[in-house]
A and B are shown apart, each in its own frame.
Chain A
């Protein structure tokens, strides 16, 4: 009963935050609301016992992205322009996409279903063999770092690639080891 109450109130606040983000025109407020959205998602993940993911969501979603959005905001403007088109076409697109996504979830297994594809694959073996193979208490850590080491290496490379991409786009590094970008760092190189 309490679980249901917590879930319902968290989801209600999540939806309310979503509507607030859509309605707001002041981008500073929108950025803060996206941080709130991430924190609420992190709480939902805690109620699902996915503390590792919740931790990441809170640190990356509410922490780093808010800072990055704010620093992006200083390069643009503070107020979102009001839309020039009629809102009906976007509404139609959103409604159709949402309907397709909801239709897709009909095929998904129920929450906690023992016969879900995620449960019947290798996961059972990881849980079974892990304690003797690894001798570590945190299942998430040893699955990610050891059994799924290739995937995590790919993820690390993705983070690296994202960093390189951002640097190439906006850092304005023209010569190597320019210690003091002083006068003309605003230009795109």
Chain B
């Protein structure tokens, strides 16, 4: 896409706001629509857009394939780990009241924050990995045929 000047300029401008919006959706999810799934998709879209316009090598310099693969598993581990921590504190699995026994609703905030963060990491990793897997293969249609 070297000849698409407008796309390249617009992408450079848009990538940072997209990531910022993803973080807003993630951390404001308690108050407004959205949460880990939506934020993860938005975050992945920023990287995928960058990869489509500037090429796979450029985006993999920012987020290498191994990092995206590790993120897939790390998010599930953060989510399940939250449950294990509450188990170790003597409560039920994923009972967030355990994080702040004197003030259970604060514990709920911490727990929801933590599991939503795990969801964000997994969804971002999976979406970016799937895009990498497709984009790394040699296309059957050449660029001019579109």
Binding site for B on A (CB under 8 A): 28, 51-52, 54-56, 59-60, 63-64, 67-68, 71-78, 132-138, 140-142, 144-146, 149-150, 152-153, 155-157, 159-160, 162-164, 166-167, 170-172, 177, 179, 181, 185-186
Contact = CB atoms under 8 A, between A and B. Distances in A.
5 contacts: A136-B30, A136-B112, A150-B93, A163-B122, A181-B136
Interface of B: 25, 29-35, 37-38, 41-42, 44-45, 48, 52, 64, 66, 69, 72-73, 75-76, 79-80, 83, 93-94, 96, 104-105, 108-109, 111-112, 115-116, 118-119, 122-123, 125-127, 129-141, 145-146
A51 B32 CA distance: 9
B109 A136 contact: yes
Contacts, number: 163
A29 to B, nearest CB: 12
Given A78-B145, A172-B136, A145 B115 contact: yes
Contact of B126 (A52, A55, A159): A159
Contact of A185 (B66, B123, B137): B137
Nearest to A148: B94
A28 B136 contact: no
Label chain A's interface by main secondary structure.
helix
B75 A160 contact: yes
A64 B33 contact: no
A142 B115 contact: no
A159 B123 contact: yes
Contact of A141 (B96, B112, B123): B112
Contacts of B108: 133-136, 142, 146
Nearest to A179: B64
A69 B52 CA distance: 13
